[in-house]
Structure 1
Amino acid sequence: MAEEEFEIGDVTGSFDIKGFLFKLLSYWWLFLGSISIGLFIAYYISVRKLPIYEMKSMIEIKDNSNPLFTSNTSLTFNWGGTSNKVTSTIIVLQSRTHNERVVKNLEYYIDYLKMGEYQLVDSYGNTPFKIEQETSAYQLQNQLFKVKILNEKEFTLSFEPELPFNGTFYNYYKEDDLTKPVDSLNFSKKYKFNEPIHTHFFKGKLKKVDLKYWPSDGSEYFFKFSSLNGKVSNYQNISAESEKSSSVINLGLRGNNKNRIVDYLNGTVNELSKLMLEEKNLFATRTIQFIDSMLIDRGEELQMVQNELDEFKTERNIFDLDAESTLLRSRLTSLDNEEREIIRSIDYYKNLKEYLQNKTDYSEIPAPTVSGIEENSISLLVQQIIQLSNRRNQLSYTAQEGNLSLVEVDRDIEAIKNVLLENINSSLKLLNNDLKRIGKEVMKFEEQVRELPQDQQELLKIERRYDLSRATYDLFLTKKNEAKLIKAASVSDIKIIDIAKDTGGGKIGPNNQLNYVMAILFGSLIPLLFIFVIVLLDNKINNPQDIEKKSNIPIIGVIGKSPVANNLAVLKKPRGAVAESFRAIRTSLQFTFKQGNDISASKVIMCTSSISGEGKTFTSINIASVMSLSGKKTVLIGLDLRKPKIFDDFGINNKIGVVNYLIGQTSLEDVKQNSGFTNLDIITSGPIPPNPSELIISDRMDEMIEELKKEYDYIIIDTPPIGLVSDALNIIKHVDTTLYLVRQNYTKKGMLEIINEKYKMGEINNISFVMNFFEQKAKYGYGYGYGYGYGYGYGYGKYGDGYIARDKKKSTWSKLKRKFKS
Structure 2
Amino acid sequence: MSATSDTIDLRSVFRKIRAKWWLFLLTVPMCVGAALFYLKTTPKKYEVQSVLLLGEKKRSGFGDNSEFIKGTSYLSNSTELEDKITVLTSNRIMTSTLQRLGFGITYFETKYFKTQEHYTYPPFFIRLDSVAVQVIDLPIHVSVDTASRTYRVYSKGKNVRLYNVATQEVLPELLPTYELDQTVPMDSMFIGDHMSFRINFPEDRTYDPKSDYYFVLNSLQDLVTSYRNSTAAVELSDKSNVVYLSLQVEVVNKGVDFLNKLMETYIEFELDKQQRKGVNTIEFIDKQIGTVSDSLQKVESSMENFRGSSGGMMSASNSSEALFEERSRLEDERSIILRRRNYCATVLDKIRSSSDLRNVPAPSSSGIDDPVLNNLVIEITRLSADLAALNLSTGARSNPTVIAMERKIKNLTASLAQTAESLVEQAEISLVEVNGRLSRTNYQYSQLPEQERQLVNIERKFKLSDNLYNYLMEKRAEAGIAIASDQIDKSIVDQARMKGLKHVSPAKAKVLGGALFLGLLIPIGLILIRDLIRDRIDDVEELKRLSKLPVLAMVPASKRRRILPDEPKSILAESFRTARVNLQYLNADSARQVIGFTSSSSGEGKTFCAVNLATVMAQSGKRTIIIDADMRRPNVSKMLEMPEGPGLSTWLIGEATIDALIQPTDIPDMDVIGAGPIPPNPLDLAESPRMAQLIETLRGRYDQIIIDASPLGLVSEYVLLMRSVDITLYVVREGKTERSALHMINDMVAEKKMRNVDLLLNDVKSRNGDGYSYYTK
What's the TM-score bracket when you normalise by the shorter of the two chains?
Answer: 0.7 to 0.9
Cα–Cα, structure 1 residues 528 and 415, in superposed 2: closer, same or farther, change >3 Å? Answer: farther
Give me the whole-angstrom Cα distance separating, in 2, the residues matched to 1:464 and 1:20. Answer: 110
- The answer to which of 656-665 and 645-654 deviates more is 656-665
Q: Does 1:498 align with 2:494?
A: yes
Aligned residue for 1:508, secondary structure, equals coil
- Give the CA deviation at 1:322: 2.7
Which residue of 81, 89, 97 corresponds with 1:94? 89
Question: Aligned ranges for residues 332-347 of structure 1 at < 5 Å?
Answer: 332=324, 334=328, 340=335, 343-347=338-342
Query: TM-score with structure 1 length normalisation?
Result: 0.78
Query: TM-score with structure 2 length normalisation?
Result: 0.82
The aligned amino acid for 1:229 is Q
Q: Does 1:140 align with 2:142?
A: no
Cα–Cα, structure 1 residues 96 and 436, in superposed 2: closer, same or farther, change >3 Å? Answer: farther
Aligned residue for 1:517? 513
Give me the whole-angstrom Cα distance separating, in 2, the residues matched to 1:133 and 1:305. Answer: 65
Q: Can you give the 5+ residue segments of structure 2 that lack an aligned partner in the other structure?
A: none
- The answer to which of 418-427 and 251-260 deviates more is 418-427
The aligned amino acid for 2:760 is V
Q: Does 1:240 align with 2:216?
A: no
- Give the CA deviation at 1:364: 2.0
Aligned residue for 2:551? 555
Q: Does 1:322 align with 2:341?
A: no
Q: Does 1:53 align with 2:42?
A: no
Question: Aligned ranges for residues 475-624 of structure 1 at < 5 Å?
Answer: 475-501=471-497, 505=501, 507-544=503-540, 548=544, 553-564=549-560, 566=561, 568-569=562-563, 571=565, 573-591=567-585, 594-595=588-589, 603-624=593-614
Aligned residue for 1:407? 407
Q: Does 1:262 align with 2:262?
A: no
Question: Aligned ranges for residues 143-162 of structure 1 at < 5 Å?
Answer: 160=154, 162=156
The aligned amino acid for 1:76 is T
- Give the CA deviation at 1:687: 3.2
The aligned amino acid for 2:16 is K
Aligned residue for 1:717, secondary structure, equals strand
Aligned residue for 1:482, secondary structure, equals helix
Give me the whole-angstrom Cα distance separating, in 1, the residues matched to 2:667 and 2:318. Answer: 162
Aligned residue for 2:73? 77
- Give the CA deviation at 1:487: 0.9
Which residue of 674, 679, 699 corresponds with 1:684? 674
Cα–Cα, structure 1 residues 250 and 432, in superposed 2: closer, same or farther, change >3 Å? Answer: farther
Cα–Cα, structure 1 residues 214 and 407, in superposed 2: closer, same or farther, change >3 Å? Answer: farther
Cα–Cα, structure 1 residues 110 and 569, in superposed 2: closer, same or farther, change >3 Å? Answer: same
Q: Does the 8 Å contact 2:350/2:356 carry over to 1?
A: no
Q: Does the 8 Å contact 1:637/1:718 carry over to 2?
A: yes
Give me the whole-angstrom Cα distance separating, in 2, the residues matched to 1:645 and 1:217. Answer: 78
- Give the CA deviation at 1:412: 4.4
The aligned amino acid for 2:343 is Y
Cα–Cα, structure 1 residues 596 and 427, in superposed 2: closer, same or farther, change >3 Å? Answer: closer
- Give the CA deviation at 1:575: 0.7
- Give the CA deviation at 1:247: 2.7
Q: Does the 8 Å contact 2:333/2:434 carry over to 1?
A: no
Aligned residue pair count: 757
Give me the whole-angstrom Cα distance separating, in 1, the residues matched to 2:167 and 2:693. Answer: 113
Q: Does 1:775 align with 2:765?
A: yes
Cα–Cα, structure 1 residues 305 and 549, in superposed 2: closer, same or farther, change >3 Å? Answer: same
Cα–Cα, structure 1 residues 149 and 757, in superposed 2: closer, same or farther, change >3 Å? Answer: closer
CA displacement 1:399-450 (0-9 Å, x = unmatched): 4577345434543453355345434543554355345534543554354252
Give me the whole-angstrom Cα distance separating, in 1, the residues matched to 2:599 and 2:11. Answer: 28
Give me the whole-angstrom Cα distance separating, in 2, the residues matched to 1:664 and 1:177. Answer: 96
Which residue of 100, 103, 106 corresponds with 1:108? 103
- Give the CA deviation at 1:624: 1.8
Aligned residue for 2:346, secondary structure, equals helix
Give me the whole-angstrom Cα distance separating, in 2, the residues matched to 1:624 and 1:190. Answer: 93
Give me the whole-angstrom Cα distance separating, in 2, the residues matched to 1:329 and 1:186. Answer: 95
CA displacement 1:683-732 (0-9 Å, x = unmatched): 33333345656666667656655554454433333333344455445544
Give me the whole-angstrom Cα distance separating, in 1, the residues matched to 2:286 and 2:743. Answer: 105
The aligned amino acid for 1:622 is N
Q: Cα RMSD over matched residues? A: 4.5
Cα–Cα, structure 1 residues 689 and 288, in superposed 2: closer, same or farther, change >3 Å? Answer: closer
CA displacement 1:619-674 (0-9 Å, x = unmatched): 22212211221123333333334433223333321234455566666655554433
Cα–Cα, structure 1 residues 39 and 417, in superposed 2: closer, same or farther, change >3 Å? Answer: farther
Q: Does the 8 Å contact 1:145/1:157 carry over to 2?
A: no
Q: Can you give the 5+ residue segments of structure 1 that lack an aligned partner in the other structure?
A: 6-11, 778-783, 785-792, 807-822
Cα–Cα, structure 1 residues 402 and 484, in superposed 2: closer, same or farther, change >3 Å? Answer: closer
Question: Aligned ranges for residues 668-817 of structure 1 at < 5 Å?
Answer: 668-690=658-680, 704-705=694-695, 708-752=698-742, 759=749, 764-775=754-765, 794-795=770-771, 797=773, 800=774, 804=775
Give me the whole-angstrom Cα distance separating, in 2, the residues matched to 1:30 and 1:292. Answer: 88
Give me the whole-angstrom Cα distance separating, in 2, the residues matched to 1:62 and 1:96. Answer: 24
Give me the whole-angstrom Cα distance separating, in 1, the residues matched to 2:757 and 2:192. Answer: 96
Aligned residue for 2:70, secondary structure, equals coil
The aligned amino acid for 2:228 is Q
Give me the whole-angstrom Cα distance separating, in 1, the residues matched to 2:686 and 2:208. Answer: 97
Q: Does the 8 Å contact 1:86/1:247 carry over to 2?
A: yes
- Give the CA deviation at 1:512: 3.6
Cα–Cα, structure 1 residues 463 and 405, in superposed 2: closer, same or farther, change >3 Å? Answer: closer
The aligned amino acid for 2:555 is I
The aligned amino acid for 2:251 is N
Q: Does the 8 Å contact 2:649/2:679 carry over to 1?
A: yes
Give me the whole-angstrom Cα distance separating, in 2, the residues matched to 1:223 and 1:320. Answer: 88
Q: Does 1:18 align with 2:2?
A: no
CA displacement 1:71-108 (0-9 Å, x = unmatched): 672233378776x4534322221222222222222233
Aligned residue for 1:272? 266
Cα–Cα, structure 1 residues 391 and 416, in superposed 2: closer, same or farther, change >3 Å? Answer: farther
Cα–Cα, structure 1 residues 590 and 95, in superposed 2: closer, same or farther, change >3 Å? Answer: same
Give me the whole-angstrom Cα distance separating, in 2, the residues matched to 1:117 and 1:97. Answer: 40
Q: Does the 8 Å contact 1:607/1:739 carry over to 2?
A: yes
Give me the whole-angstrom Cα distance separating, in 1, the residues matched to 2:213 and 2:742. Answer: 75
Q: Does the 8 Å contact 1:593/1:736 carry over to 2?
A: no
Aligned residue for 1:261, secondary structure, equals helix
Question: Aligned ranges for residues 329-408 of structure 1 at < 5 Å?
Answer: 332=324, 334=328, 340=335, 343-359=338-354, 361-393=356-388, 396=391, 397-398=393-394, 399-400=399-400, 403-404=403-404, 406-408=406-408
Give me the whole-angstrom Cα distance separating, in 2, the residues matched to 1:401 and 1:87. Answer: 9
Aligned residue for 1:77, secondary structure, equals helix
